[in-house]
Amino acid sequence: MSMSHKAFAFDWNAFDDDLAPILLAALDADDGAELAEFIDQERERLTDPYNGDPLPADWRGLLEGGDVQELADFALTRYYRVREEHGIGPAWLGLSEVLTDDQLRPLLGAPFGAGDRLLDPGRLGAYFQSPEMVRASLTALAGVTAEEVRSFQELLAACTAAQLGVYVTF
């Protein structure tokens, strides 16, 4: 299985106000009922997390298992644009040979959740950066000249200017 680093501009502040408490409770209880309610209420502002198409009224038919992770994947689209991806892609795996640990950490962010109940819709890792973390990541990566990182650096600069966060997933 190939690990592809995907990164998106993310409306961290709106997420933190709206979905974060619901998502934390869902992860803690392993119960997606409130997430499904959120999706129903926000459906017109959500997209299919796999192709970015508008989420249809019969969105439940798109679910494979309907667990908390999959529901969260759909709910998160309220805060980012699926089709506007600026990650490193499969080059991620080779960067550990080129970059230091201090340069690799800003390419991720922090996991979301508590203890062993973390958000991980793709089951390969999911990370978030608040607007403050984005600014710090941009500074930490300022001297990195690896071509593979350029698109991510541009994302960080745009998010810093717009006071947005970043969502990274594999």
Residue 133 lies in a domain: yes
Domain for residue 132, yes or no? yes
The answer as to whether 117 is a domain residue is: yes
| pLDDT score of 2 | 67
Residue 1: the pLDDT is 55
**Which pLDDT belongs to residue 98?**
87
Tell me the pLDDT of the chain averaged across its residues: 96
List strands edge to edge, sheet with 6-10.
6-10, 165-169, 126-129
The residue segments making up the domain with residue 152 are 6-169
- 0.75 exceeded by pTM: yes
Number of domains, the chain = 1
- All residue ranges of the chain with pLDDT < 50 are none
Q: What is the pLDDT of residues 106-146, one digit of tens each?
A: 999 999 999 999 999 999 999 999 999 999 999 999 999 99
Residue 1 counted as domain residue: no
11 lies in a domain? yes
